[in-house]
């Protein structure tokens, strides 16, 4: 070890204490969401702790400390002159408005959901074997669903389907579609509502995800969607679907090459596979130097994505940033896909690939 540089030590300590504060903030932000505190602040405007507590029928002392923490961490604003707390339009978009593309509350949900997994993860570093999605319980599936909800609700039908030649017309006339790794089923709901003559199957190996999908489908009143677990009802081995979609599934699954082969077999000759997967660089050095949210994605990887990809002894464990465009091209070509197109769909987190046989 080199001797300690006191100035660097001070800077490192400051940075690290900010991260400890951010870890506490994860739980406290989820509380703000669950208790409706952010939404209430937006509704009533600048207020003191008593008014906010009264509005939500909460205890003032708890609300006051929550406001102090939220202001110190930078998520809320405080006027010392007026002694009032408020939420900015930007903070509201990120923390409270599920209809805004910047909404990130699902990220806090997902991060909090993995805290109880620490002991199992410690063991995984020794055995090499990680956790399935269901080993996390219901909250992880819920966080992931919320993180990707905007794209499915507001961009899939209007921006993505038009990128697939002839697909809007085929779906309008009545086509057969599978969403593999459907999670909470939001993609099948959006498509099922837009294209009532088509039929949809949502496949997921996670019972927690399927339970959420069942509830979401019932709430949406969508009747042209069927859900199933491919562990008991695998994808058909014959060319069946006009369209198969996967949203952030391939990098997660323990056997990605097998899954790509199954998708190839289940797709009709004139069908398309729309594959959303994480945008990243081909090397760690480039991710470190250039990826704007590499730390967030590697955090997800250790706790959720690589963890799930290694949930079996021979799992591939690609990791969140592991299914790069280059690897996607190689693996899909190996399974027989002839055409591979990177679609021009703007998304800071994901790439969209369109494949056909």
Ligand X SMILES: C[S@@+](CC[C@H](N)C(=O)[O-])C[C@H]1O[C@@H](n2cnc3c(N)ncnc32)[C@H](O)[C@@H]1O
Residues in contact with ligand X by CB under 6 A are 133, 144-145, 148, 180-183, 203-206, 209, 230, 247-249, 252-253, 259
Closest to 69 measured CA to CA, from 125, 122, 28, 108: 28
Q: Between residues 86 and 320, which has the closer beta carbon with respect to ligand X?
A: 320
Q: Between residues 76 and 147, which has the closer beta carbon with respect to ligand X?
A: 147
Give the shortest CB-265-to-ligand X separation in angstroms.
14
For residue 284, give every residue at least 6 positions away whose Cβ sits within 8 Å of its Cβ, in sequence order, or none. none
Q: Between residues 88 and 257, which has the closer beta carbon with respect to ligand X?
A: 257
- Using H for helix, E for strand and C for coil, what is the string for 56-122? HCCCHHHHHHHHHHHHHHCCCEEECCCCEEECCHHHHHHHCCCCCCCCCHHHHHHHHHHHHHHHHHH
Give the shortest CB-277-to-ligand X separation in angstroms.
10
Give the shortest CB-315-to-ligand X separation in angstroms.
10
For residue 320, give every residue at least 6 positions away whose Cβ sits within 8 Å of its Cβ, in sequence order, or none. 251, 278, 297, 298, 300, 301, 304, 305, 306
Q: Between residues 95 and 209, which has the closer beta carbon with respect to ligand X?
A: 209
Give the shortest CB-208-to-ligand X separation in angstroms.
8
For residue 24, give every residue at least 6 positions away whose Cβ sits within 8 Å of its Cβ, in sequence order, or none. 69
Element (H, E) at 230: none
Q: Between residues 183 and 317, which has the closer beta carbon with respect to ligand X?
A: 183
C-alpha 126 chain-centroid distance = 27
Give the shortest CB-55-to-ligand X separation in angstroms.
33
């Amino acid at each position: 070890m080199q001797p300690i540089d006191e100035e660097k030590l001070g800077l490192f300590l400051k940075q690290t204490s900010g991260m400890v504060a951010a870890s506490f903030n994860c739980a406290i932000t989820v509380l703000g969401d669950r208790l409706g505190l952010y939404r209430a602040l937006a509704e009533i405007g600048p207020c003191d702790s008593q008014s906010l507590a009264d509005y939500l029928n909460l205890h003032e002392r708890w609300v006051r400390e929550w406001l102090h923490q939220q202001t110190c961490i930078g998520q809320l604003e405080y006027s010392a002159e007026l002694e009032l707390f408020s939420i900015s339009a930007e903070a509201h978009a990120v923390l409270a408005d599920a209809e805004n593309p910047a909404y990130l509350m699902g990220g806090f949900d997902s991060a909090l959901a993995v805290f109880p997994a620490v002991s199992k993860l410690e063991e995984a570093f020794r055995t090499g074997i990680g956790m399935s999605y269901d080993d996390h319980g219901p909250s992880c599936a819920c966080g992931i669903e919320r993180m990707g909800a905007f794209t499915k609700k507001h961009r899939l039908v209007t921006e993505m389907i038009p990128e697939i030649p002839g697909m809007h017309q085929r779906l309008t006339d009545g086509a057969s579609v599978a969403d593999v790794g459907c999670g909470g089923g939001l993609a099948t709901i959006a498509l099922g509502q837009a294209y009532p003559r088509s039929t949809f199957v949502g496949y997921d190996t996670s019972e927690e995800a399927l339970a959420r999908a069942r509830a979401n489908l019932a709430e949406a009143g969508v009747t042209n969607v069927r859900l199933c677990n491919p562990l008991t009802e695998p994808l058909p081995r014959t060319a069946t679907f006009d369209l198969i979609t996967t949203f952030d599934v391939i990098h997660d699954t323990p056997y990605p090459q097998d899954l790509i082969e199954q998708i190839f077999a289940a797709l009709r000759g004139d069908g398309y596979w729309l594959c959303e997967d994480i945008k990243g660089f081909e090397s760690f050095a480039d991710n470190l130097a250039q990826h704007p949210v590499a730390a967030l994605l590697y955090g997800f990887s250790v706790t959720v994505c690589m963890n799930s990809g290694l949930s079996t002894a021979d799992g591939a464990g690609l990791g969140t940033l592991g299914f790069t465009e280059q690897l996607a091209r190689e693996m899909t070509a190996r399974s027989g896909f002839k055409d591979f197109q990177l679609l021009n769909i703007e998304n800071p987190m994901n790439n969209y690939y369109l494949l056909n046989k």
